[in-house]
């Protein structure tokens, strides 16, 4: 009888030890969130991460909220990211650098360039932050200085970034040597069909606009000479579209030209720089940078 009791006691103890030593299985929600992320359903993944944050509470919630913010960014739901990142900092202040980085990226995505400069500058100037965070922020900041038409500051920041080489500095010089197109001039030139497009280097669009406007103006003249006012009204309706389109295109193509020139320089400055969170260790937030 005694040996039976000892046996039961031994089995119970062995079970307890096994339960305490075997690592806790990760929550089902986390696996679901990862799977949704892999499938590209970022909005649903974000909601799963938020559920995990609410269920777990404490510092872990910070990591889950950060992952939710990252998913919302991938899903281009920029308006909710700030709210998620506020919660990250409330739940786990030690994730402030990760939150700052995502705030900067989100501000860039939403074209809030002065906000983006503030976040990246704060991160770049933080001597306590990891070198990789500071370097990434520095590259972004250099691009933002260029956007702000301050190439000297862009060079100054790049010189403090580890591994920044002649390619990045060369991109600043190339951008500085080029010239922007004036949207006002583009609009005025657009009064002559197609010339606005040509001003910004879009010669094929310019030629198409010229041909279309030429044909319809010719049609208007012919129908007016023949006093065919019904056909004249139909043709003028389309001609208004082509003609106003030429003016609008002159303005828009100049803006496009300037934007593309800047984006090219920013792309050259960033090079291969990017970061990815390691979802296998969530709720701890570990970013893997590549430069």
Partner 1 sequence: MKSVKRIPVILAGILFSVSAATANFDLAVDLFEEGDWPACRRECLRVSVLDPDHAGVRLLSAASLVQQILEGKEVKDDRVSSADQELRDLAAGADDRDISAMASLELGRLSWFRGDIDGAFDELRRAFVTAPDHELFLRAGCSLDLLIRQNSALARSRDLTGLESQLNTCRPMWTGGLARSCVVDAHGKERATSRPGKWIVAFYRSQVRPAIGSRCSLEPSCSEYYKRASGKHGLLGVAMIGDRLVREPGVVSRAEHPVVAGGKIHYADPLDEHDWWMER
Residue numbers of the site for partner 1 (CB under 8 A)? 43, 47, 50-51, 54-55, 79-80, 83, 111, 183, 197, 202, 204-205, 208-209, 212, 240-249, 252, 255
CA distances from 261 to 30, 125, 165, 170, 175 (A): 42, 28, 20, 14, 7
Q: Which is nearer to partner 1, 120 or 197 (CB)?
A: 197
To partner 1, the closest distance from the beta carbon of 253 in angstroms equals 8
To partner 1, the closest distance from the beta carbon of 114 in angstroms equals 12
Q: Which is nearer to partner 1, 60 or 126 (CB)?
A: 60
State which H helix or E strand residue 273 sits in: none
- Cβ partners under 8 Å of residue 47, min gap 6: 68
To partner 1, the closest distance from the beta carbon of 106 in angstroms equals 15
Q: Which is nearer to partner 1, 84 or 139 (CB)?
A: 84
Q: Which is nearer to partner 1, 152 or 233 (CB)?
A: 233
Q: Going along 132-284, which residue ranges are E strands?
A: 274-277
The whole-angstrom separation of Cα 114 and Cα 207 is: 39
**CA angle 135–96–139, rounded 5-degree value:** 20
To partner 1, the closest distance from the beta carbon of 51 in angstroms equals 6
Backbone φ and ψ for 275, nearest 5 degrees, come out as -140, 150
Q: Which is nearer to partner 1, 245 or 271 (CB)?
A: 245
To partner 1, the closest distance from the beta carbon of 125 in angstroms equals 27
């Amino acid at each position: 009888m005694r040996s039976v009791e000892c046996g039961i006691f031994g089995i119970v103890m062995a079970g307890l030890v096994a339960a305490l030593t075997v690592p806790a299985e990760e929550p089902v929600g986390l696996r679901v969130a990862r799977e949704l992320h892999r499938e590209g359903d970022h909005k649903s993944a974000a909601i799963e991460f938020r559920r995990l944050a609410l269920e777990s509470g404490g510092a872990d919630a910070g990591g889950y909220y950060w992952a939710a913010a990252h998913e919302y960014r991938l899903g281009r739901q920029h308006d909710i990211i700030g709210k998620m990142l506020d919660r990250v900092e409330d739940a786990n202040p030690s994730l402030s650098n990760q939150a700052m980085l995502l705030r900067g990226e989100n501000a860039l995505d939403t074209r809030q360039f002065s906000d983006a400069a503030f976040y990246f500058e704060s991160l770049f100037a933080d001597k306590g932050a990891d070198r990789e965070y500071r370097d990434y922020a520095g590259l972004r900041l250099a691009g933002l200085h260029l956007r702000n038409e301050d190439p000297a500051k862009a060079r100054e920041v790049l010189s403090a970034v580890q591994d920044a080489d002649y390619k990045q500095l060369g991109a600043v010089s190339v951008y500085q040597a080029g010239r922007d197109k004036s949207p006002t001039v583009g609009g005025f030139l657009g009064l002559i069909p197609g010339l606005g497009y040509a001003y910004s280097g879009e010669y094929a669009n310019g030629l198409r606009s010229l041909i279309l406007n030429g044909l319809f103006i010719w049609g208007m003249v012919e129908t007016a000479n023949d006093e065919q006012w019904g056909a004249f009204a139909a043709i003028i309706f389309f001609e208004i579209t082509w003609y106003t389109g030429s003016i609008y295109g002159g303005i828009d193509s100049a803006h496009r030209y300037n934007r593309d020139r800047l984006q090219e320089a920013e792309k050259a400055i960033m090079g291969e720089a990017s970061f990815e969170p390691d979802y296998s260790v969530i709720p701890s937030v570990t970013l893997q940078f590549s430069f």
